[in-house]
Structures are given as structure tokens and as C-alpha cells.
Structure 1
Amino acid sequence: MKAVVMEKFGELPTVQTVPDPSPAPDGVVIKVEATGLCRSDWHGLMGHDPDIRLPHVPGHELAGTVAAVGRDVTRWRAGQRVTVPFVAACGRCAECASGNQQVCEHQFQPGFSAWGSFAEYVAIDHADTNLVALPEAMDFATAASLGCRFVTSFRAIVDQGRVRPGEWVAVHGCGGVGLSAVMIASAMGANVIAVDLSDEKLDFAKKVGAVATVNASTTQNVVKAIKQITNGGAHMSMDALGHPVTCANSINCLRRRGRHVQVGLMLGDHTHPQVPMAKVIAFELEILGSHGMQAWRYPAMMEMIRSAKLKPELLVGRHYALDEAPAALMAMGSFEGLGIGVVTRF
């Protein structure tokens, strides 16, 4: 099969012919019909993820059809349309037993700890735990766009952030995950403020639900601006980028007893950001992480998509060929373009 192969960290990957995967006894092989380009993949390419062993095939936002099934799989058959959470769970540990597969003690991640979906085929273990059926009406590009950024935002806003109608929500960073969060928080009835450096992204954020925007490149004090808009601070705020500045702004813009959710990865030089802990204590703030979403939670999100409360197809940006993926991946070091890029031609 054709696949994008990383041979050295920080250098341009190449498209190569590599052996087709075979399913594990409890796994499947999926024919990849679409796979998203995510900044997390760029972090992996730069060597920020200790689980990656070279040579390596990246890619973790995928949708496709089941091509081969292991002998122990009971719920899936060849030809079914599926996607999979980027955190694939073992189905047996204590966290899985409690329903928290997104923090599985023995998790594997396609594109990081296992070869991923920038390829014609990808193997997924523990298929009965991890696969999610796709509605026939959903195209593969939209389904792939859900795989990391949209589902992560759904859990961050709905489950971790516990957003309620009428609350003020600030979203710092309007890449794929941030725009997803804007749309989801708006659908939950919140008043959303989008923060970014780009007027183009902020204008798009308004189209998907933001009621106010702050351009951090031209606003002298982002925190002050948010507090003025919200008359005291956000009830919930999310760092969708993963940078010490956006992390600090997200915490500092909260009103008393507000909730900060960190979704943007803090890797490389940003691993240890300064946190205003005195304010966390004095204001009784909550600092929460959010890491993907369990396969069993997808139906709630899918129902909101079916009813058109959520329209993730609006967030899909440029379509790429697999041969274009290496250059597009390298370019993500300067942050994402508008919308979610998806490889749809193999």
C-alpha cells in the first residue's frame, strides 16, 4: 500500500510503498477513505511524542470501510463504514470498566504509538471496543474531521466544561479544534467569544456561532477585553491552541468559580506553562484537561449532527491527495489554515 512515512524527526516525510497491514485476532483493517491533517501530527513529526518509533506512518483522524476482520471480532464485518476515536482503548483496564476509555491505562493511538492513517489501509486493535459506525448520510471527509478535533471539543465543552445555556464561553485559538468548540458551545446555548490572531478565522467563527470576537494581535489586553464583553469574565474558557500565553489568558479571563479546559497540547518548549495558582485558589477556579472522547459517547454527538444542531461539514477545509500530505503536514508548524484539511485522494 501507499503510505506517508516519517524517517527522521523534523524532516519532510515521503510517500512510499509499504506492506499491507493484517488484523490482530481482536482487530480489523480499515480501508482509509479520508484522514484529517492535525497539528498533533505535526507535533509527532517534530519528535514531541515519546511513543513514536521511526520509521513511522502518522495520521489519527480517519474514516473508511472495514476491509478485514480478526477471528475474535464479534460486532463488525467487512464493508461497514466506520470511524474510530484517536485514543483507542484496551477494553479491559479499570478506566475502561468505568467508561473512561479516553484515558485507558493501556491505550494505543493510531499515528503515534501505532502506525496511522496517512495510508491506504490502517490496522485497529480491540475493534469491538473502539469502532464507531457511521451514518450512511455522512460523507467520509466529514466523518474524518470528527476524529480528533471535533470529538475532543465535544467532550471538552459538554462533559468536562459542563457548559449550560446562557453562560459565557471563551475559546482561545480558532483552528480546527477551536472552531469546533465555538460551534458546539453555541449549540449548547452558550454565548461564545472567539479569540485568535486572524480576522479571517474570527469572521469564520462568527459564521459558526460566535457572538463576539477578540483579535489578540490588535487587542492590547485580551483578558480585559473578555471581561468587558462578559461583564465580569467567562464562565468557562478553553485553550484550543496550546501555548503559555493562551493558557494564561484562558485562566485569567474566568469569573469566580469559572472552569478552564486545556485541550491544546503543551509540548516541546511549552511543557511547563506558568499557572496563576493564587487566582485559582482565591476564585475557586477549576482547571481541567480533556483528552479525546470515548466511542460510546459518539451517539449523543451523532444525534446532534443528525438533527442539524451541529454541522461539522462546515468546518471541512481543503481536500488533499496523499502525495500532498507531507508538505501540508510540515506547513502546520505555522498553525492551521482555515478549517480542517482532509486527505481524500489516495
Structure 2
Amino acid sequence: MQAVRYDAYGDTPTLIDVPAPACPADGVVIEVHATGVCRSDWHAWQGHDPVSLPQVPGHEFAGVIAEVGPQVTKRRVGERVTVPFVCGCGRCDYCAAGESQVCPDQSQPGFTMPGSFAELVAIPAADLNVVPLSDDLDFVTAAALGCRFATAFRALVAHGRVRPGDWVAVHGCGGVGLSAVMIAAALGARVVAVDVSEPALALAGELGAEVLVAGGPHAVPRILDATGGGAHVSIDAVGSNETAVASVSSLRPRGRHVQVGLLLGEHATPPLPMGLVVAKELEIYGSHGMSARDYPAMLDLVACGDVRPDRLVGAVLGLGDAGAALAAMSRPATTAGVTVLRLGPRSPS
């Protein structure tokens, strides 16, 4: 099959021929029809989040099941599916409780195993990890749900406990931040979007943000003023010392900070204002994706039209463009929205 692979950190990812994956006994092989290009892929490629090398990146995808292992009971060949970016082992207490996103023996396409920048991808524990898709949800939109949309959904619903009328501050309007803006607005929240990019802020406004704030040292005072004393929920969708501190500092008493953006390298231990956490009795959460068990509620929100993840898609490219799409993330963004790679159905072998 064809796949995009890099052999060393920072090396140009290249479209090459590689052996097709073997089907796990408890898993499936999925023919990839669309896959998102995520900043997490960029972090792995740059070596910020170490992975085994060589590596095929990609973890936000949708496609059709091409092969089913003998131990699988719930999935079938030809089924349209997607998969969370965190795959549980299917054997531990966390997986049994529906919390596979924190499974101690988890696997992740594009990180711990070959990913979805390929014509085929193998997924273990398919009865636990594979999510069926309705026929009316196109593959590009389903790929846009990926880790960014699902992570934002769980961050707001499970951790943020967002209610109608709440103020939600979203720091960073990349893929996960724009997803959070759209979902929060659909939940009836009033949204403040923060970013340094004018195109990103403009799109956030189109997706439901009520207040647009330019990122920088004056962002927190503007948020506190616009929300009448602080947000009920604030999300760091970037993952930096500055945005994590700003998110916590943007909260009103008893507010909830949710860390979604990865904090890596020099940003791994941000100097959070713990004095504010104590004085205001703030809550701090991390959000690491969403288990397959929780996808139906999100898909229902998509099916009824309350959210439109297709509006997040900024560019649709081919698999051969994956390397250039990753490289573009090393430069300041000039456009808004997420990039999705679209693959055609494979020719019979």
C-alpha cells in the first residue's frame, strides 16, 4: 500500500510503498478514505512528543472496514467507521469502565503504531475502539471530528460542565479551539475566542464566538471585562506557558480550567497562578481525547445540525500533500480551519 512516512525527526515525510498491515486477531484493518492533519502529528514529527521511528503519522481518520479479526464480534467488513485517537487495550478496569482514553496500555495510531496517512490502518480491540458512522456523514467531515472535535466535546461537556448562559473562554483558535467555539455555542454558552491570528478570530466569530480578543498581554483584562468578572469555563487549546496561565487567570470564582493543548518541552511545567486557584476555588482538568463509548452523544449533535464540523475544514488535499501540510505548521498560519487528506477507494489487488 501507499503511506506517508518519516524516518527521522524533522525529515521530510515521503509518500512510499510499504507492506499492508496485518489484521490483529481482536482488531480490524480499515481502508482510510480521509484523515486529518493535526498539530499533534507535527509535534511527533518534530520530536517534541517522541515516537518510534520510522513512523507513519495520522490519527484522525474515517473509512471502511476491509478486514475483521476472528475475535471481533461487533464489527463487519464494509462498515463505515471512525476511531478515537486513543485506543484502549480492552482488558483493563479503565476500559471496562468506559474510560479507555486513560488506559495504561493504550495505543495511538501515528504514535505508538503506524497511523492513518496511509491507504490502510490496523486497529486493535475493535469491539471497544471502533465507532460506526451513519451513511449521511461524509468521510471528510468524519475525519474533521478526529481528536480535535472529540477532545473539545469531552472537555466542555464532561469537564467544563457547560450550561446555557455560561461564559466560555477559548485560548487558541486552531482545530481544537474552533471546535470548542462551535460546540460551546451549540450548548448555549457565550464564547470569548482568543488568538493572535486575524483569520482564525474571524472564523471563530462565524462559528459562534460573541467576543473576539487578540492574544497577548492584554487578553486577560479584556476577558475579565467582557465576561463581568471572568469565564465560567476556560480552555487552553494551544499548549504553552502563556496560554495556560492566561486561561486560569481568565476564570471567575469557582471556574473551571481545562487543559487541552499539549504542554511539551519548555512548556511542560507552566507556572500556573496557584494563588488564584486557592483563592477562587478553581478547578483544573486535563482532557485526553474521548472514548468510543461517548461518541454517540457527539454524533447526535452533528446529526441534528446543531454543530457543523464540515465548516471547520479549511483545505482538502491528497495523501501526497501530507508532508507539505505538516511542514506548513512550522510557519505562522495565514489561513484558518483544519486540513484533511482525502484518499480514494483502493483498487482491487
Give the TM bin, normalised by the shorter chain.
over 0.9
Deviation at 1:54, TM superposition (A): 0.8
Counterpart contact for 1:66–1:78, Cα < 8 Å:
yes
Q: How does 1:183-198 map to 2 (within 5 A)?
A: 183-198=182-197
- Correspondence for 2:129: 130
Q: Given the alignment, which residue of 339, 343, 346 partners 1:345?
A: 343
Distance 1:200 1:53 in 2: 35
Q: Is the 8 A contact 1:39 1:335 kept in 2?
A: no
Instruction: Name the CA distance, whole Å, in 1 between partners of 2:338 and 2:226.
Output: 28
Give 1:22's aligned residue. Answer: 22
The residue number in structure 1 matching 2:249 is 252
* Percent of residue pairs identical: 55
1:310 — aligned with what? 307
| Alpha-carbon distance in structure 2 between the residues aligned to 1:197 and 1:222 | 10
Native 8 Å contact 2:4 2:117 kept in 1? yes
Distance 1:104 1:81 in 2: 25
Alpha-carbon distance, 1:335 to partner:
5.5
Contact 2:87 2:108 in 1 (8 A): yes
Counterpart residue type for residue 224 of structure 1: P
Partner deviation per Cα, 1:153-190 (whole Å, 9 max, x = no partner)? 00001111111111100000000100000000111111
Deviations 1:70-128 (A, max 9, x none): 11111111111000000001121121122211111110000100100000100001000
Return the letter of the residue paired with 1:267. Answer: L
Partner of 1:175: 174
Match of 1:282 among 274, 279, 284: 279
- Hey, what's the Cα distance between the residues in 2 that align with 1:209 and 1:11? 39
Q: Does 1:212 align with 2:211?
A: yes
Conserved? CA contact 1:30–1:67, under 8 Å: yes
> Aligned partners of 1:251, 1:58: CA distance in 2, in Å?
32
Aligned to 2:8: 8
Q: TM-score, normalization: structure 1?
A: 0.97
1:64 corresponding residue in structure 2: 63
Map 1:257-336; keep pairs closer than 5 Å. 257-334=254-331
* Deviations 1:198-225, CA, capped at 9 Å, x for gaps: 12111111111101110125xx511100
State the AA in 2 paired with 1:221: H
Structure 1, residues 36-68: CA drift from partner, whole Å, max 9, x if none? 000000000011223x11111010001000001
Secondary structure at the residue paired with 1:122? strand
d(CA) in 2 for partners of 1:48 and 1:203?
A: 30
**Equivalent residue number for residue 110 of structure 1:** 109
Distance 1:255 1:328 in 2: 39
Structure 2 SS opposite 1:297: helix
Equivalent residue pairs, number: 343
Cα deviation for residue 340 of structure 1 reads: 1.0
Q: Kindly provide the CA deviation profile for residues 283-340 of structure 1, in whole angstroms up to 9, marking residues without a partner as x.
A: 1111100000010111101111111111111111101111110111122123654111
Aligned: 1:148 with 2:147? yes
The residue type equivalent to 2:22 in the other structure is S
Over the aligned positions, Cα root-mean-square deviation in angstroms equals: 1.1
Q: How many angstroms does 1:278 deviate by?
A: 1.1
Matched AA of 1:113: T
What's the TM-score, normalizing by structure 2? Answer: 0.96
Of 88-97 and 182-191, deviating more is 88-97
Looking at structure 1, the residues matched to 78 and 332 of structure 2 have their Cα atoms a distance apart, in angstroms, of 36
Are the aligned partners of 2:220 and 2:250 in contact in 1 as well (CA < 8 Å)? Answer: yes
Matched to 1:228, the amino acid is: D
What is the CA distance between 1:268 and its match in structure 2? Answer: 1.9
Aligned to 1:45: 45
In structure 1, what is the Cα distance between the partners aligned to 2:251 and 2:199? 26
- CA shift at 1:257, angstroms? 0.9
1: CA distance, partners of 2:343 / 2:70 = 30
Residues 257 and 283 of structure 2 are in contact (CA less than 8 Å); yes or no, is this contact kept in structure 1?
yes
Q: CA deviation at 1:192?
A: 0.3
Structure 2 gaps of 5+ residues are 345-349
Amino acid at match of 2:56: V
Cα pair 2:119 2:343 within 8 Å, conserved: no
Which residue matches 2:347?
A: none
